[in-house]
């Protein structure tokens, strides 16, 4: 789905379920990781997680759009637009929006790029980011560490 199609869908849902026009921007934000969407109170724009749409389809995206439009319209009407507010909960119930979005699957592999080796006992530590080994000691024997750069080692991400 393209940005223009998302914008049109949000405008249609706003008119159909709220009876009010959506006058701001709706975009996909690739940086969203743990949420399906976001309402920006200062600019009044809406951002959506493209991965939620790709993973769960149009039905889930419509639910997320309704949720964010509840924030949008209640905020513009100066009513309770936060999750804790009664007006927000009633708006969700009235429009059929979801309270929480389904979790998005995370990437399963993260590459290790660096390996620290203890000079005393040989214990190895894998790291994603470069650190200064002079500031650290071995957790097993308190020996000094040496940094090696590695390329192909990966680990499974548990969460």
Per 3-state DSSP, the chain is made up of helix, strand and coil in percentages (nearest 5) of: 35, 20, 45
The distance from CA 155 to its chain's CA centroid, rounded to whole angstroms, is: 22
pLDDT confidence bin for 33, thresholds 50/70/90: confident
E strand or H helix that includes residue 119: none
pLDDT tens-place string over residues 105-116:
776 666 889 999
pLDDT of residue 118: 96
Is the pLDDT reported for residue 154 higher than 50? no
pLDDT of residue 108: 61
Active-site residue among 12, 47, 59, 68? 68
The answer for 142, left when phi > 0, alpha when psi is -120 to 50, beta otherwise, is: left
pLDDT tens-place string over residues 54-75:
999 999 999 999 999 999 999 9
Q: Please tell me the distance from the alpha carbon of residue 113 to that of residue 151, in angstroms, as a whole number.
A: 6
What does the pLDDT average to over 98-126? 87
CATH superfamily of 3-95: Metalloproteases ("zincins"), catalytic domain (3.30.2010.10)
Does residue 48 or residue 153 have the better pLDDT?
48
pLDDT of residue 158: 47
Average pLDDT taken over every residue of the chain: 91
Is 60 annotated in the active site?
no
Does residue 87 or residue 107 have the better pLDDT?
87
pTM of the model as a whole: 0.69
Does residue 43 or residue 157 have the better pLDDT?
43
pLDDT of residue 60: 94
Q: What are the sequence ranges of the domains in the chain?
A: 3-95, 109-156
């Amino acid at each position: 789905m393209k940005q223009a199609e998302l914008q049109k869908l949000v405008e249609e849902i706003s008119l159909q379920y709220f009876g009010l026009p959506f006058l701001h921007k709706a975009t996909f934000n690739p940086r969203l990781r743990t949420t399906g969407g976001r309402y920006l109170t200062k600019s009044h724009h809406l951002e959506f997680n493209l991965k939620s749409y790709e993973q769960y389809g149009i039905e889930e995206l419509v639910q997320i759009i309704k949720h964010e439009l509840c924030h949008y319209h209640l905020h513009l009407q100066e009513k309770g637009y936060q999750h804790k507010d009664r007006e927000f909960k009633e708006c969700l119930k009235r429009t059929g929006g979801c309270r929480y979005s389904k979790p998005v699957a995370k990437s399963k592999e993260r590459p290790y790029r660096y390996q620290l080796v203890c000079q005393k006992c040989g214990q190895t530590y894998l790291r994603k980011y470069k650190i200064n080994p002079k500031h650290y000691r071995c957790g097993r024997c308190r020996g000094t560490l040496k940094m090696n750069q590695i390329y192909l080692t990966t680990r499974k991400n548990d969460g």
